[in-house]
Amino acid sequence: MDLLYFGDSGWGDELAIATLMTIAVSITAMLIGFIFAAIFTPLKLSKRKYLNLISNSYTTVIRGVPELLVIYLFFFGGSGAIMYVASIFGYNDYIEINAFLTGSFSIGIISGAYSTEVFRGAIQSIDRGQFEAAKVLGVSKFTQFYKIILPQMLRLAIPNLSNVWQITLKDTSLISVTGLVEIMRQSYIAAGSTRDPLFFYSCAAVLYLILTYLSMKLINKLEVKYSRGY
């Protein structure tokens, strides 16, 4: 247990900071995922075939390829791509992108594909009458979405989004390969310097269990809140 002391002698404070990092990456990735979902869900629901094709290929490719491969693509390819864009604008120095940004972006793209499917399912299961009633009342497209569709969609989407959140939270452990110090990386460092991998990886497992348990509780509360009146 000495190993978990806070301060210089133990790894308690390092692991606590790493846990916060995991939470930060997960939330950032989830939000980036929502941005992707906000772009690709309308494309998926569009009547134009080629827009559907773009969106479908995004979700199929991301959901059919291992997360680790996507992370390697952005980890090794990310700085190259940004340097290429920068060189067009006449900036030729070496650019190294932050591990946090690469990590959250690559996990965000993955969680975005899952979120897109969730939102598509939620919108499609809203009664057609709701759209028609809004049209008949002359509600503008913008108000229709924010005041009528979105609240109903959220109620339907929250249980499935909770699954996406769990997947995203667990996927952040893969970012450790890029060197970002989150739970997994910190346990790896601690295990290496104390030669006690069993203890530290078990700690990591317990930390992840606590995170999934707590987020489960929180999401259940949200679910109750959004299903008032049903």
Partner 1 sequence: MLDSFPKLLSATLITLKLLSASLFFGLFIGLFFAILRLNKNIFINKFAYGYSYVFRGTPLLVQIFIIYFGLAQIEYLRTSFLWIILKEPYWCAIIAFTFNTGAYTSEILRSAFQTIKPGVIEAGKSLGIPNKIIFYKIQIPIAIRQSLPAYGNEIILMMKGTSLASTVTLMDLTGVAKYIISTTFKPIEVFIVAGGIYLFMTFIIHNVIKYLEKKYSFQ
Which residues have C-beta within 8 Å of that of residue 180, sequence separation ≥ 6?
A: 21, 25, 99, 100, 103
Which one of the spans 34-42, 45-53, 55-63, 132-140 is the region binding partner 1 (CB under 8 A)? 55-63
Among 124, 125, 143, 212, contact with partner 1 (rule: CB under 8 A): 212
Tell which positions 172-191 bind partner 1, by CB under 8 A. Answer: 173-174, 176-177, 184, 187-188, 191
Residue 205 lies near partner 1 (rule: CB under 8 A):
yes
Q: Which is nearer to partner 1, 145 or 188 (CB)?
A: 188
Burial label for 196, CB within 10 Å (0-12, 13-18, 19+), is middle
Which one of the spans 76-84, 89-97, 115-123, 129-137 is the region binding partner 1 (CB under 8 A)? 76-84
Q: Identify the sign of the CA torsion 122, 124, 129, 135.
A: positive
Tell which positions 100-159 bind partner 1, by CB under 8 A. Answer: none
Contact 23, 12 (CB under 8 A): no
Which one of the spans 5-13, 75-83, 113-121, 148-156 is the region binding partner 1 (CB under 8 A)? 75-83
Instruction: Spell out the alpha helix ranges (H) of 97-149.
Output: 99-124, 128-136, 141-143
- Reported for 38-41, long-range contacts at CB under 8 A and 24+ positions apart, including other chains, are 40/112, 40/113, 40/116, 41/116, 41/119, 41/120, 41/123
Among 53, 135, 146, 197, contact with partner 1 (rule: CB under 8 A): 197
Taking the CA atoms of residue 66, residue 72, residue 73 and residue 79 in that order, the dihedral angle to the nearest 10 degrees is 160
Among 46, 213, 214, 220, contact with partner 1 (rule: CB under 8 A): 213
Residue 61 lies near partner 1 (rule: CB under 8 A):
yes
Q: Which residues of this chain interact with partner 1, rule CB under 8 A?
A: 60-61, 63-69, 72-73, 76-77, 80, 166, 170-171, 173-174, 176-177, 184, 187-188, 191, 195-198, 201-202, 204-205, 208-209, 212-213
